[in-house]
Amino acid sequence: MKPLIDVQRGLQSARIYHDRDVFDAEMERIFARCWLFLTHEAAIPNPGDFVTARMGQDEVIVVRQKDKSIKAFLNVCRHRGARVCPVEAGNARSFVCNYHGWSYGTDGALTSVPFEKELYKGRLDKSTHGLREVARVSSYHGFVYGCFDAAAPSLTDYLGDARWYLDIWMEANGGVELLGPPSRSMVHCNWKAPSENFVGDAYHVGWTHAAALKAGGGMLAPMSGNAGLPPEGAGLQVTTRYGHGLGILYDTNPGSHDMPLAQEILAWQAKKRPAIEKAYGALRARYYGSHINGSVFPNTTYLWGSNLFKVWQPHGPNRTECFTWAIVEKDMPTELKQRIADSMHRTFGVAGYWEADDNDNMESESQLSRGYMTRQGSLNAQMGIGGDREDPELPGVVGESAIGETSYRGYFRFYQETMNAATWADMKKGDAGWKRELTEAGSGLIGEPVAA
C-alpha cells in the first residue's frame, strides 16, 4: 500500500477517508489490536448486567461476572454465527441464540444445546464452543476498554502520558460518570473525520459554530464568526505516544454553552479547586474548569466543559455510528447532572445544534474523497508545524499555541506507525524516536509541492 501519511510535511493522503483497502487494513491493524472503549462500569454494576458494544465491525457483549470482574465476548453464536444477544443492555443469567437455541452462560461457556443427546450423539465438544472471549478487558477510573490483542501494552501504558492530563477530571475531582444509555446516530463520514476533529481542532470553532456560539451565549461566545483569537498563552495542545491528543482552553468551562448553567458549574468547581490544587499542584489544577477537547486513539472522544463523551464506530469507509453520553462529576447533585445532560443533548446530541454543524463538515470531507482525482491529493495539517516541542513540565509533545494542528500530527504519526507495523513488538522500536519525528518535522517546507 502506498504511504498514506507524510509526518515530516504534516500531510495525509485523501485516500484515508474513503479507500476500501485502507478501511480493511484499519480493521486489522488498528481495531483488532488497540484498546477500544466498551462501557462505563456504572452501567453494569451487578453480576449478570450486560451491555452490547462494538469493537470495529465486531459486536461484543460486555458482562459483569459473578466475581464482579468484567468480561467481553463476541456476540456471535458458535453454531452458525447468528447474534446471541439482540438487545443493548439488561441483566441475564444466560444468552440464548435466536436461531436454534444454543445457550451460553454469562461466563461465555456453552451450557446447553437443544436435543444434544439425540442429534449430536455425544460428538459435540461443548467445552471448546464457548463464546469467543475478548483477550483483554481493563478499566481506567471506571471507563472499561477491551483489546483483541493479548500482546498490546496494558491499558495504563497505552493511555501513557495522556493520563497526566486526564487524571485531573477522571480522578482528582472525585471522578466522573457517563449518563446513559447512549444516544446513537449514523453519520455518513469516515470514522477518522470526527476523531481527528476532536483530537485537536479548536480552529473551526469560531467559524463552523459561529451561529451556535451566538445563539448559545456561553463562555466561548466571543469567538463567534472568528471575531478574535484567544490571547497568547490561553491554552495548550498536546499529543502523546500512541496518538492520543488534547487541546485545552484555560478557564473557559462553558457549562454546555448555557450561561446560567455555566455560572452554576463554575461555582461548584470553585469549591473543589483548592483541594485539587493542594493535591495535584496549580499547573494541573488549572485543567479543572478549563475546556478540554480530546481523543483517545483510535475513536473515543470527549469534551470536558461541553460534557460529552463519544465513540465513533466504523461501519464502512463512509458510514460511522456515533454513540453519545453525557459526562458529569460523580458527586454532583442529581438535578444538576440532569440539567448538564439536557444541555449536552441540546448541543451535541443526535439533533444537537453544534452536532449538525460538525456533521456537515465530516460528511463533506469524507464523501468528496470518493472522487478519483480528489483522492490523489493530500490533506494539510501543517498549522504550528516546526513549533512542536518537549516541555520540562508537561508530558508528551506540546504545540506552540492554543490553536494549531499538533494533535492531528501526533494522531496520524501513530496511525502510520500502527498501519505499518506487523506486531506490537515492532512498535517498541518507535518508543525512542517518536517525539523527535514530531519536533523535527516541518523543516524546508516552504516551496515544496503539496501532494501526498
Give catalytic residues, as residue numbers: 100, 201, 204, 209, 358
Site for Fe ion in 350-379 (CB under 5 A): 358
- CB-based burial label for 410 (10 Å; 0-12, 13-18, 19+): buried
Nearer Cβ to ligand FES (97/166):
97
Answer for which of 11, 77, 110, 322 binds ligand FES (CB under 6 A) is 77
Tell me the closest approach of the beta carbon of residue 216 to Fe ion, in angstroms.
13
Whose CA is closest to 195, among 391, 414, 25? 414
Q: Where does this chain touch ligand FES (CB under 6 A) — which range of 77-85, 211-219, 334-342, 404-412?
A: 77-85
Tell me the closest approach of the beta carbon of residue 204 to Fe ion, in angstroms.
6
User: What is the full DSSP assignment across 275-332?
Assistant: HHHHHH-HHHHTTTTSEEEEEETTTEEEEETTTEEEEEEEEETTEEEEEEEEEEETTS
Cell of 361: 463538515
Q: What, of Fe ion, ligand FES, none, does residue 79 touch, CB below 5 to 8 Å by kind? A: ligand FES
Q: What, of ligand FES, Fe ion, none, does residue 82 touch, CB below 5 to 8 Å by kind? A: ligand FES
Tell me the closest approach of the beta carbon of residue 135 to ligand FES, in angstroms.
23
Going from the C-alpha of 225 to that of each of 207, 210, 377, the distances in angstroms are: 5, 5, 29
Local structure of 269: helix, strand or coil: helix
Cell of 166: 486526564
Site for ligand FES in 78-107 (CB under 6 A): 79-80, 82, 97, 99-102
The radius of gyration of the chain's CA atoms, rounded to the nearest angstrom, is 23
Q: What's the rounded Cα separation, in Å, for the pair 383 and 155?
A: 31
Nearer Cβ to ligand FES (132/204):
132
Q: Where does this chain touch ligand FES (CB under 6 A) — which range of 75-83, 192-200, 299-307, 338-346?
A: 75-83
Nearer Cβ to Fe ion (106/301):
301
Q: What's the rounded Cα separation, in Å, for the pair 307 and 254?
A: 9
Q: What, of Fe ion, ligand FES, none, does residue 214 touch, CB below 5 to 8 Å by kind? A: none
* 19 counts as binding Fe ion under rule CB under 5 A: no
Those residues whose C-beta lies under 8 Å from the C-beta of residue 420, and which sit 6 or more positions away, are none
Site for ligand FES in 390-429 (CB under 6 A): none
Q: What's the rounded Cα separation, in Å, for the pair 356 and 362?
A: 10
Site for ligand FES in 232-261 (CB under 6 A): none
Q: What's the rounded Cα separation, in Å, for the pair 317 and 21?
A: 9
Q: What, of Fe ion, ligand FES, none, does residue 100 touch, CB below 5 to 8 Å by kind? A: ligand FES
Residue numbers of the site for ligand FES (CB under 6 A)?
Answer: 77, 79-80, 82, 97, 99-102
Residue numbers of the site for Fe ion (CB under 5 A)?
Answer: 358
